[in-house]
Structure 1
Amino acid sequence: MRVVVIGAGVVGAAVAAGLTRRGAQVTVLEARTPGAGTSATSMAWVNANNKLPEAYFHLNHAAVRAHHDLPGEWFFPTGHLECAVSHQHKELLESRVTRLESAGYPVERVTARRARELEPDLVSPPGAVYAFFPEEGHVHPMRLIARLLGEARDAGAEVVCGAEVTAIEAAEPGVRVGVAGGGTYAADAVVTCAGRWTQGVAALAGAYVPMLDPARAGQLTNGFLVTTTPVPARLSRMITTDRLNLRPDGAGRLVVQALGLDGRAEPGVPVPDDVRQDILARLSAVLPAAEGAEAERAVVGHRSLPGDGLTVAGFADPARRVYTVATHSGVTLAPLLGREVAGELYGEESALLAAFRPGRFTDGTAGPPPTPARRAGQQ
C-alpha cells in the first residue's frame, strides 16, 4: 500500500512509523520542518488525568500505556505530582481522584512528607494536599519525533520538507496529492495529520473537519510557554499547582506554564515582558532553588483543537481513501494513534477510535465547542 501522510509533527511521525511497520510505502509531506507546528510548543505531559468523556479517557489511558511500551530517552515515566492549596482546587482534586480510582487509573493520595521525598526542592504550602499519578510522565517532543521519523525512514519512508499540500484529488484507483510548486504524489490513501491546519487541508478533499482558530486571541487555542535557562534545582517530574505547571526539560532547564495567564496570549504577538516576569516569579515561589532563572525561550503556543474539543480519527470520504487525524492530546496519543490508524488503513476497525469519527460534524452528533479548562484556583 502506498500512503501519503500530510504533516510531520508528533502525530504524523507516529502514523508514518505505524504504517511502515505494516509494510506500507510511505511519503511524509511537511509544509515546514518536522515538529514546527504545535509539537514544538507543547507542555508534553503524557496523561489521561482529566480527560472526559469516558471514551476520551479510555483512549488517553490506552495511550499512556503505549508510551510505556515504547520506552526510550525521549520519555520520562517519572509520574506527576499535583499540589492543591485553595479550597476549590482541593475539592476538585478529591473528586477527580475518587473518579479515577473507580476507573482503575493509578493514583495515590500522598502526605506532605511524601511529596517532599518525591520533590525535595518544592515548596510545601501550609495545608496543601497532594496526589501522585505514578503512570504519567512527560516527553521531549522533538526527540520523540526524531525517534518515530527515524524508524519510518529506516523502513523506507521518504520525508519531504517544504511541501505545502495544495490539492487532494481522487485518481482511480487511489488519490493524488499536489503540493505548491507543481509536484504531485500518487497513493492508495492519504492520512492528514496537519494539526491546527486540519480544517483547510481536509477541505481540499471535500471533507469538513472544523478546528478552533488559533488566529483568534484567547486561552483555548493559545497559551504561554516559558523554557528557563539552566538552574541548580532538583525536579524529576511533571508538577501541577494552583498557579503554575512545570516539568524538567534537560540540562537543568525547566518548562513552565501558568494557565491562568493564557487569556492574554495573542497569536503573532511576542510574550509580554510582564507576563514573562510573572511566570518566573511564580516559579521562584514554587521552586526557590530556581531563583534567578531567566527565560531562555518564551513563546505563544497554538493548540490543535477540533471544533468540539475531542480527537478526530477516521475516514473522511465514502471511498475510504482520505483518513483524517486531529487532536489536542497529540503528544499523549501519538504512539497509540500510530498503531491504531495504521490498523484501520489495513481494514482493522479500532474500538478505541469508534467514538471519534469526523462524520460527527456533518451528522449532527458533535458536541458544543469546549469551554476553557483550567485547574481550580489558577490565576
Structure 2
Amino acid sequence: MKVAVVGAGVVGATIAARLARRGVSVTLIEQGNPGSGTTSTSYAWINSNGKEPPAYFRLNLSGLRAHTQLSPRDDSGWIGLGGHVEFAVDDHHFENLTARVKRLRSWGYGVNELTPAQAKELLPDVKLPENVRLIAHYTDEGYVYPEKYLGYVLGEARAAGAEILTNTAVVGIQQKGEGAELTLSNGETLAVDKVVSAAGRWTRSLAALAGANVPVLEFTSPGDIVVGYLAVTNPLPVRLSRLITSPWLNVRPAGGGRLMLQALDLDSTADPRDVPAADSELGATFLKRLSEVMDGTEGAVIEKIMVGQRVMPEDGRTIAGPVPEMPWMYVVATHSGVTLAPYLGEAVAAEILGEQQEALDEFRLERFLVNHTYGTPYAPRKPGEQ
C-alpha cells in the first residue's frame, strides 16, 4: 500500500511514522518545514480537562496516557509532568471549578483540592491570591515540548523508510482508480492508494482540491476563535515545574529557564498578520501580570510574542475518518493535536489498514451531514468558563 500523508506537524508526522513501521510505503508532504504550522505556536498543554462530551474526554485521556507512556524519562523526553494547578477567586469561577472537579473525579480523573499551604509547597514562587476560593491540582496533566516530540516521530518515520518532502505543497488531488493522484508544487505527480490529510488549519482548502467540504474554521478577523497570543520570557531564576492557571495569567515552563505566558482575555486583538513586537504594550501587559503572579521575575523581559492559530472544526471537536464517498481520502483535524498526536497516530494508521477504531466512531465527518452535532464551536476556556 502507498499512502501520502499531507502535513508534517505532530499529528501528520506521527501517522506517517506509525504507517511506515507497519510496512506501508509512506510519503510525508509538508508545504513548509516540519512543525512550522500550529505545532510551532502551541501552548502544548496535554490534558482531558473539561473536554466534553464523554467520548471526547476519553479520546483526550487516551492521548494524555499515550504521551506519558511513550516519552523517555531522561533528557531525550519531551514531556513535563508534575500536573497543573488552577486557582479560583471570583464566585463564577469557584462554582465552575467546583462542578468540574466533581465531574472529573466521577470519571476517575486525577484531581485534588489543595489548601493554600499545600499549593505553596508545589509552587514556591507563585503568589497565591489572598482571596483564593478553591485550588485544584490535576495530578496527571503536563506540557509538551512539541519540537522534541516532532523530532522523535520524524526520526522514527525516517528509520522505517518513509519519504519526507519539505517545502513542497499539494496543489491538486484527483481520484485515480480506487486511489488518488496528487499534483505537487514542484511539478511532480504522486499516485497513491490513500491520502491522509493532517493539514491543520489548511484542512478545508486541501480537501477542496479533491472536491470535498471539510468544515474547519479559518482565520477571518482579529480575535477570531482560532487565534491567540503566546509570549515567551528570557531565562528567569524562578521555581516552576508545572502549569498554572490563574485569573490573570496562565504560565508554564518553556525550557532553559524561560516561561511561556498566555492570557486569553487579551486575545481579542490577536492577528497573525500583525504580531506585536516583544517590547510592545502587549508585552508590557504580560510582564505586569507575570510580576503579580510570580516572585523572582523582576528581571523578566519578553523575548518573543507569537500568534498561534488553532485547528478548529466547526463544532470544536476532533474530525477523524474517511471523506464520505471518497474512501481513499482520510481526514484528521483537531484542536487537541498536541494531546492526541501519539494516540491518533496509532489509531489512524490502524484504520488506514482496515482496522476500524471504535473510539473514533463519534468523530466522523458524517456527523456534519445529519441533524446532529456536538453544538457550536467554543473558545479556549478563560478561568471560570467551561
Q: TM-score with structure 1 length normalisation?
A: 0.96
In structure 2, C-alpha distance between the alignment counterparts of 1:212 and 1:295, rounded to whole Å: 30
Task: Give the superposition deviation at 1:50.
Answer: 1.3
Residue in structure 1 matched with residue 352 of structure 2 by the alignment: 345
Alignment counterpart, residue 319 of structure 2, candidates 312, 316, 333: 312
Q: 3-state SS of the aligned residue for 2:128?
A: coil
Displacement of 1:289 in angstroms is 1.0
Q: Does 1:152 align with 2:166?
A: no
Aligned 8 A contact 2:312 2:333 in 1: yes
Q: 1:204 and 2:209 equivalent?
A: yes
Distance 1:219 1:245 in 2: 20
Task: Find the counterpart in structure 2 of residue 68 from structure 1.
Answer: 68
SS in 1 for 2:183: strand
Give structure 2 stretches of 5+ with no counterpart.
Answer: none
Give the deviation of 1:181 after TM superposition.
3.0
Partner of 1:82, secondary structure, is strand
Name which of 244, 250, 258 aligns with 1:253.
258
2:296 aligns to what? 289
What corresponds to 2:366 in structure 1? 359
| Cα offset, 1:219, TM superposition | 4.4
Correspondence 1:34 to 2:34: yes
Partner amino acid, structure 1, of 2:214 = V
* SS class of match (2:296): helix
Q: What amino acid does structure 2 have at the position aligned with 1:52?
A: E
Partner of 1:86 in structure 2?
Answer: 90
Q: Which residue of 1 aligns with 2:180?
A: 175
Give the paired residue count: 378
C-alpha contact 2:221 2:271 (8 A) present in aligned 1: yes
Aligned ranges 1:9-24 → 2 under 5 Å: 9-24=9-24
1:195 shift after superposition? 0.3
Of stretches 177-186 and 234-243 in structure 1, the one that deviates more from structure 2 is 177-186
Which residue type is aligned with residue 65 of structure 2?
A: R
Name 1:47's counterpart in structure 2: 47
Q: CA deviation at 1:325?
A: 0.3
One of 294, 299, 307 as aligned partner of 1:300: 307
Query: What per-residue deviation string (whole Å, max 9, x for no partner) do you get for residues 260-287 of structure 1?
Result: 1111112301226211111111111111
Choose from 75, 96, 99 the match for 2:103. 99
- How many angstroms apart in 1 are the aligned matches of 2:344 and 2:256? 30
Shift in Å, 1:319? 4.6
Give 1:106's aligned amino acid: G
**202-211 or 356-365, which deviates more:** 356-365
Structure 1 stretch 203-212 or stretch 297-306: which is displaced more? 203-212
Query: For 2:112, which of 108, 112, 116 is the aligned residue?
Result: 108
SS at match of 2:17: helix
Does the 8 Å CA contact 2:313/2:377 hold for their aligned counterparts?
A: no
Question: Which deviates more, 18-27 or 39-48?
Answer: 18-27
The 1:306–1:239 alpha-carbon spacing in structure 2 relative to 1, beyond 3 Å, is same
Is 1:217 the counterpart of 2:222? The answer is yes
- Unaligned 5+ segments in structure 1 are none
175-184 vs 28-37, which moves further: 175-184
Q: Distance in 2 between the 1:20 and 1:110 partners? A: 45
For residue 216 of structure 1, report the CA deviation from its aligned partner: 2.3
Query: 1:278 aligned to 271, 276, 285, which one?
Result: 285
- In structure 2, what is the Cα distance between the partners aligned to 1:85 and 1:295? 27
SS at match of 2:252: strand
Q: Is the 8 A contact 1:208 1:361 kept in 2?
A: no
In the TM superposition, residue 288 of structure 1 has moved relative to its aligned partner by 1.9
Take 2:171 and 2:324, find their aligned partners in 1: how far apart are those partners? 18
Measure the CA separation in 1 of the matches of 2:282 and 2:274.
12
Post-superposition offset of 1:293? 0.9
Per-residue Cα deviation, 1:313-333 (whole angstroms, up to 9, x for no partner): 000143521000000000000
Does residue 222 of structure 2 align to residue 234 of structure 1? no
Range with bigger deviation, 361-370 or 44-53: 361-370
What TM-score does the superposition give when structure 2 sets the normalisation length?
0.95
Instruction: Give the superposed CA RMSD.
Output: 1.4
Farther-moved stretch of structure 1 (362-371 vs 118-127): 362-371
